[in-house]
């Protein structure tokens, strides 16, 4: 069964396994797939007790099986599941580590749900590459040993519950699951969407994913996709530098990313991993054939030295977290050493913006023009990076655009009030902010209405209405 729209086809090759290709041109913003999650489970080690139905926090437990937490308002969980759990002698102490595997085994056992076992069987687990690795050992200790010490093996008859099967299940989870927001935005969960998981990875992907409160996923194209192009999704954080993205993909997904961005030493001209040249101070050092070479003066820098600089910067960024003064000092210090778009500087800028956002939103605080200017400047700089690494419709870009436009409008109002700019300049700035907000709202149109981004889109629409009135008003002043 192909749940993709009829412009997509599932293909298979040696390098990628199964992947999805556009067989017709796809327009920007077209829905490519909608899919309901087949399994939701906690992130390993999460201590929060969550209802097995709605995944909200709960202190209640099913009165029949006395194993799975369930909130009173959710009613009983699946009868077949409950009956098996009633016979389970020993529930491992840390439910979060075994919940997904237990539910998966019970679904495999349920003959009314043969599709689950078939779909699960077809999913990639990279069992050979994982065998004996650190993650294999962690799963063995946290999940597999506690389960094998219970009587689960005797309760599941359709499959042989042994180490190999349990490791395969953990592998399928690690390779294929999507991280999703827990209800109410409190923490994270992992979820399996087997069709969505067929999309291959690209660090500059051509789709965007949104998941609503009912764990329904929607994948839409974030730019036009030509017939013959692969339909891709980004498995990692696009705001990380190449070495960190590649490492996370190699360790977590077992492949070496060879996408255009990873293969280009300047990261498509974004310079998110570039270091400033100590010789000419203007050029960027980029890595080519294991050498850091300046793109302006051709100086070659010792790779060990460059790696040390980046490692030191990484430590300083970590140590600065949450402290505005320290963040600004680290930002100033490393702006003289790293390229302005370096991912560590972007990280610092995001951290500063988060603190400034909280300050600005506090009704008891009256932000001055300098603070608003700083926020607008940093958001503008982050936006420039996002324009390169997220060229299509992007949630991150929409948020940065809104966070850039709002203080920019406030600054213009303050400057007009103090006589620093004219009425025409104020109107022009407000009109530009209006354009930016419209663009942000357009990009957030694809978000579920009840999500924080959906709420942001509604707030932007209200701001836009007020801005439109204000622009009209300014235009009518004598």
Ligand X SMILES: C[S@@+](CC[C@H](N)C(=O)[O-])C[C@H]1O[C@@H](n2cnc3c(N)ncnc32)[C@H](O)[C@@H]1O
> Which residues sit at the interface with ligand X, rule CB under 6 A?
15-19, 123-124, 126, 175-176, 197-198, 200-201, 253-255, 257
Residue closest to ligand X, measured at CB: 17
CA 249, CA 235: separation in Å to the nearest integer? 8
CA 263, CA 204: separation in Å to the nearest integer? 12
Tokens of 454: 């959906």
- CA distances in angstroms from 410 to 81, 369, 433, listed in the order given: 56, 8, 10
**313 burial via Cβ count (<10 Å: 0-12, 13-18, 19+):** buried
Query: Strand pairing partners for 17?
Result: 13
Beta-strand relationship, 207-211 and 300-301: unpaired
Based on CB atoms, which residue is closest to ligand X, 17 or 224?
Answer: 17
Based on CB atoms, which residue is closest to ligand X, 84 or 219?
Answer: 219
Based on CB atoms, which residue is closest to ligand X, 258 or 461?
Answer: 258
C-beta of 252: minimal distance to ligand X in Å?
A: 8
Based on CB atoms, which residue is closest to ligand X, 200 or 317?
Answer: 200
CA 76, CA 83: separation in Å to the nearest integer? 12
Please answer whether residues 434 and 417 qualify as being in contact, where contact means their C-beta atoms are separated by less than 8 angstroms.
no
Q: How many helices (H) and strands (E) does the chain have?
A: 17, 14
C-beta of 196: minimal distance to ligand X in Å?
A: 9
C-beta of 257: minimal distance to ligand X in Å?
A: 6
Please answer whether residues 215 and 249 qualify as being in contact, where contact means their C-beta atoms are separated by less than 8 angstroms.
no
C-beta of 194: minimal distance to ligand X in Å?
A: 9
C-beta of 396: minimal distance to ligand X in Å?
A: 21
Based on CB atoms, which residue is closest to ligand X, 169 or 275?
Answer: 169
> Dihedral (C-alpha) 67, 69, 72, 75: value to the nearest 10 degrees?
-70
Based on CB atoms, which residue is closest to ligand X, 201 or 245?
Answer: 201
For residue 56, report the phi and psi dihedrals to the nearest 5 degrees.
Answer: -85, 160
Q: In a 3-state reduction of DSSP, which class is residue 285? A: strand
C-beta of 201: minimal distance to ligand X in Å?
A: 4
CA 259, CA 257: separation in Å to the nearest integer? 6
CA 70, CA 53: separation in Å to the nearest integer? 7
Based on CB atoms, which residue is closest to ligand X, 197 or 421?
Answer: 197
According to DSSP H, which parts of 257-322 are helical?
A: 260-263, 303-320
Based on CB atoms, which residue is closest to ligand X, 16 or 148?
Answer: 16
C-beta of 232: minimal distance to ligand X in Å?
A: 7
C-beta of 448: minimal distance to ligand X in Å?
A: 23
According to DSSP H, which parts of 281-393 are helical?
A: 303-320, 324-335, 343-361, 369-389
């Amino acid at each position: 069964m192909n749940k993709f729209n009829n412009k997509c086809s599932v293909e298979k090759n040696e390098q990628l396994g199964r992947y999805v290709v556009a067989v017709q041109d796809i327009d920007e913003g077209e829905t490519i797939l909608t899919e309901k999650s087949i399994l939701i489970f906690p992130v390993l080690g999460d201590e929060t007790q969550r209802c097995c139905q709605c995944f909200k926090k709960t202190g209640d437990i099913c009165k029949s099986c006395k194993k799975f937490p369930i909130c009173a308002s959710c009613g009983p969980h699946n009868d077949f599941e409950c009956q098996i759990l009633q016979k389970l002698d020993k529930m491992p102490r840390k439910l979060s580590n075994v919940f997904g595997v237990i539910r998966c085994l019970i679904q495999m056992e349920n003959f009314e749900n043969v599709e689950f076992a078939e779909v699960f069987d077809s999913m990639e687990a990279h069992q050979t590459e994982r065998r004996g690795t650190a993650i294999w050992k962690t799963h063995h200790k946290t999940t597999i040993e506690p389960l094998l010490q219970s009587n689960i093996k005797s309760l599941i008859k359709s499959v042989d519950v042994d180490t190999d099967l349990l490791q395969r299940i953990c592998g399928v989870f690690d390779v294929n699951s999507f991280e999703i927001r827990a209800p109410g935005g409190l923490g994270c969960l992992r979820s399996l969407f087997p069709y969505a998981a067929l999309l291959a990875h690209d660090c500059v992907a051509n789709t965007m994913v949104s998941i609503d409160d009912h764990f329904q996923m929607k994948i839409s194209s974030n730019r036009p996709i030509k017939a013959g192009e692969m339909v891709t999704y980004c498995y990692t954080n696009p705001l990380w530098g190449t070495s960190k993205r590649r490492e996370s993909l190699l360790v977590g997904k077992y492949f070496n990313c060879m996408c255009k961005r990873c293969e280009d030493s300047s990261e498509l001209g974004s310079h998110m991993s570039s270091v400033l040249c100590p010789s000419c101070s203007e050029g960027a050092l980029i890595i080519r054939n294991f050498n850091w070479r300046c793109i302006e003066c051709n100086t070659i820098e010792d790779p060990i030295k460059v790696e040390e600089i980046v490692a030191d910067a990484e430590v300083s960024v970590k140590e600065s977290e949450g402290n505005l003064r320290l963040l600004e000092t680290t930002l100033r210090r490393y702006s003289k050493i790293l390229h302005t778009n370096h991912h560590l500087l972007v990280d610092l800028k995001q951290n500063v913006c988060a603190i400034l956002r909280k300050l600005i939103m506090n009704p008891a605080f009256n932000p001055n023009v300098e603070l608003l200017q700083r926020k607008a400047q940093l958001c503008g700089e982050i936006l420039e990076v996002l324009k390169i690494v997220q060229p299509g419709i992007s949630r991150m870009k929409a948020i940065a655009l809104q966070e850039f436009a709002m203080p920019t409008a406030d600054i213009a109002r303050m400057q007009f009030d103090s006589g620093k700019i004219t009425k025409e300049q104020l109107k022009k700035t407000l009109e530009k902010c209006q354009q930016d907000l419209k663009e942000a709202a357009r990009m957030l149109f694809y978000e579920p209405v009840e999500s924080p981004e959906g709420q942001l889109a509604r707030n932007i629409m209200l701001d836009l209405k007020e801005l439109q009135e204000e622009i009209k008003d300014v235009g009518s002043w004598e």
